Amino acid sequence: MFILFLIVAILCIFPIVILYYWGSDSGKPSKLSIIFLGLTAAIWTSFLTGVFTLFPERLTNVLWEGSWIGILILGSITFLYEFKKNKAYAFSSLIICFINGSFYMLARLFSSM
């Protein structure tokens, strides 16, 4: 499992590094990108530390669904916004969005079993 995660991480990071070196984009990320990365880090931190288990079940379901779907929508908007300005940041937000989306679907699959 760890090897598979490592391979996926390398395959996700490699195109971003190429875009940084070969791309002519040298601008800073927008505030939207920084907000997206901050919210992604907050959601992953709250998930890994078990913050979602502290609330009642009904509230937990609303927070879980809302936060993951919201971060997927925000990642898509960030990709579209950054694509015109800086392709490296755009593709990195798209890859993070795909990783979050695949984790969300995987978690829903396991919870429905």
Tens of pLDDT, residue by residue over 38-64, are 888 888 888 888 888 888 888 888 888
pTM confidence score: 0.73
Phi, psi of 41 (to 5 degrees): -65, -40
Where along the chain do its domains lie?
A: 2-111
CA distance from start to end of the chain: 20
Tell me the mean pLDDT in the region 14-20.
Answer: 64
Q: What is the DSSP string of 14-65?
A: HHHHHHHHH----PPPPHHHHHHHHHHHHHHHHHHHTGGGGS-HHHHHHHHH
